[in-house]
């Protein structure tokens, strides 16, 4: 069954994600092409804040654990919304 | 490639939001309900979300993460693929502040429309030219993933470079975004090809895609 297997892969990705999203990024610095282009123009990020989970962090938790929990929250929300949407679309027709 | 708040001027924000909402309306009216394919949307959305959390920092240079728009386009077509990426970007923006709220239109346009359409279009072109076999699927998915992220990167460069306060901004941002994504995008192409190659024989739903390809019909 694709569902269970896919879910396992997704959870595995989330579990190893702090290695790439936090640990390696702290070691060598995360710098994507957009940052390079923005730097050249001197563009500044505006700091409007609306969520406690900014940048995949959970308030009060270490960044690596927070990153995993944020990942699980995101996966949960997407599966939930996606499921409701699928149900709504299937019923519409 | 997620543009934060503060990078876009009001005109670009208005244009990109209009384009994104127009595509959303078209997508919602054009999606033909195919229960089996639609059921893949939540799983693929969650998978792409998780894959995007794996940032690959490259010492001394720049970094990348998998985007997945082309993959969604190839697997689910231009409208359900869009819907999948749109869900990912929407949650990333609202819940995790990854991508600005004023830039949501631009981010959706780049990663859920351009990346999805280019990936789908190139894959379709290659598999219909070379015939639907494993080799053409690998080539089509690789080129689709590679070109999809490259064009999305160029579009992103246009959006952040186009501003009255930087008259020649695009001359700087478009080459930076285009060249870097052309180089880093090879990885996106390889991952897209491997995932399509792995999923194709395992998901009977995708056989329907094969039919619609040979009939040349839309989603």
Rounded to the nearest angstrom, the gap between the alpha carbon of residue A46 and the centroid of all alpha carbons in its chain is: 20
Q: Which residues 7-36 in chain A show a CB within 8 A of chain B?
A: 7, 9-10, 13-14, 16-17, 20-21, 24-25, 27-36
Distances (CA, A) of B29 to A21, B9, B80, B126: 37, 31, 11, 27
- Please indicate, yes or no, whether the overall pTM of this predicted structure exceeds 0.90: yes
> How much is the pLDDT for B177?
94
Measured distance between the N- and C-terminal CA atoms of chain A, rounded to whole angstroms: 26
Establish if A93 touches chain B: CB-CB under 8 angstroms. yes
Residue among A30, A75, A89 minimizing CB distance to B46: A75
The model's pLDDT over B16-33, given as tens digits with 9 standing for 90+, comes to 999 999 999 999 998 877
CATH number of B10-215: 1.10.1760.20
DSSP characters over B17-41 = HHHHHHHHHHHHHH----HHHHTHH
- The domain limits of chain B are 10-215
Residues of B in contact with A3 (CB under 8 A): 43
> Are B80 and B31 spatial neighbours (Cβ–Cβ below 8 Å)?
yes
Distances (CA, A) of A75 to A9, A55, B174: 12, 15, 33
Mean pLDDT of the residues in chain B: 90
Residues of A in contact with B169 (CB under 8 A): 41
Residues A82, B42: C-beta atoms closer than 8 Å? yes
Measured distance between the N- and C-terminal CA atoms of chain B, rounded to whole angstroms: 27
DSSP characters over chain A = -HHHHHHHHHHHHHHHHHIIIIIHHHHH----HHHHHHHHHT---------TTGGG--TTS-HHHHHHHHHHHHHHHHHHHHHHHHHHHHHH-
- The domain limits of chain A are 2-44+56-92
> Are A37 and B157 spatial neighbours (Cβ–Cβ below 8 Å)?
yes
CA–CA gap between residue B112 and residue A90 (Å, rounded): 22
3-state SS of B150-169 is HHHHHHHHHHHHCECCECCH
Residues of A in contact with B160 (CB under 8 A): 34, 37-38, 41, 43
**Å from A62 to nearest chain B CA?**
16
Residues A78, B87: C-beta atoms closer than 8 Å? yes
Which residues make Cβ contacts (< 8 Å) with residue A8, sequence separation at least 6? none
Please report where in the chains the tokens 């072109």 appear, as a residue: B125
Establish if A67 touches chain B: CB-CB under 8 angstroms. yes
> Which of A87, A12, A19, A81 is closest to B47 using CA atoms?
A12
Q: What is the mean pLDDT of residues B203-209?
A: 63
The model's pLDDT over B96-109, given as tens digits with 9 standing for 90+, comes to 999 999 999 999 99
Residues A25, B63: C-beta atoms closer than 8 Å? yes
Mean pLDDT of the residues in chain A: 89
Residues of A in contact with B203 (CB under 8 A): 2
Which value does ipTM take for this structure?
Answer: 0.93
> Are A27 and B67 spatial neighbours (Cβ–Cβ below 8 Å)?
no
The model's pLDDT over A11-50, given as tens digits with 9 standing for 90+, comes to 999 999 999 888 988 887 778 899 999 988 989 888 788 9
Residues A13, B51: C-beta atoms closer than 8 Å? yes
Of residues B28 and A3, the one with the higher pLDDT is B28
Residues of A in contact with B88 (CB under 8 A): 78
């Amino acid at each position: 069954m694709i569902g269970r297997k896919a879910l396992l892969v997704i959870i595995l990705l989330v579990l190893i994600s702090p290695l790439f999203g936090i640990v390696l990024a702290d070691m060598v610095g995360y710098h994507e092409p957009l940052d390079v282009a923005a730097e050249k123009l001197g563009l500044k990020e505006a700091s409007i804040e609306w969520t406690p989970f900014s940048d995949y962090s959970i308030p009060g938790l270490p960044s690596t654990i927070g990153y995993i929990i944020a990942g699980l929250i995101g996966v949960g929300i997407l599966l939930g919304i996606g499921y409701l949407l699928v149900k709504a679309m299937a019923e519409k027709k | 490639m997620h543009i934060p708040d503060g990078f876009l001027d009001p005109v670009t924000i208005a244009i990109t939001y209009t384009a994104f909402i127009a595509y959303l309306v078209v997508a919602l009216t054009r999606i033909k309900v195919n229960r089996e394919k639609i059921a893949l949307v939540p799983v693929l959305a969650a998978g792409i979300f998780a894959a995007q959390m794996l940032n690959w920092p490259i010492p001394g240079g720049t970094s990348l993460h998998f985007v997945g728009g082309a993959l969604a386009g190839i697997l689910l077509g231009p409208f359900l693929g869009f819907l999948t990426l749109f869900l990912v970007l929407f949650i990333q923006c609202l819940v995790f502040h990854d991508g600005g709220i004023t830039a949501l239109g631009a981010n959706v346009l780049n990663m859920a429309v351009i990346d999805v359409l280019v990936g789908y279009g190139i894959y379709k072109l290659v598999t219909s030219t070379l015939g639907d076999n494993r080799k053409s699927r690998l080539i089509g998915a690789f080129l689709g993933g590679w070109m999809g992220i490259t064009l999305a990167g160029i579009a992103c460069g246009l959006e952040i470079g186009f501003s009255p306060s930087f008259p020649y901004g695009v001359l700087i941002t478009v080459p930076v975004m285009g060249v870097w994504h052309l180089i880093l995008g090879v990885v996106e192409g390889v991952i897209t090809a491997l995932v399509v190659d792995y999923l194709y024989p395992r998901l009977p739903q995708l056989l329907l895609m094969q039919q619609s390809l040979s009939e040349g019909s839309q989603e």
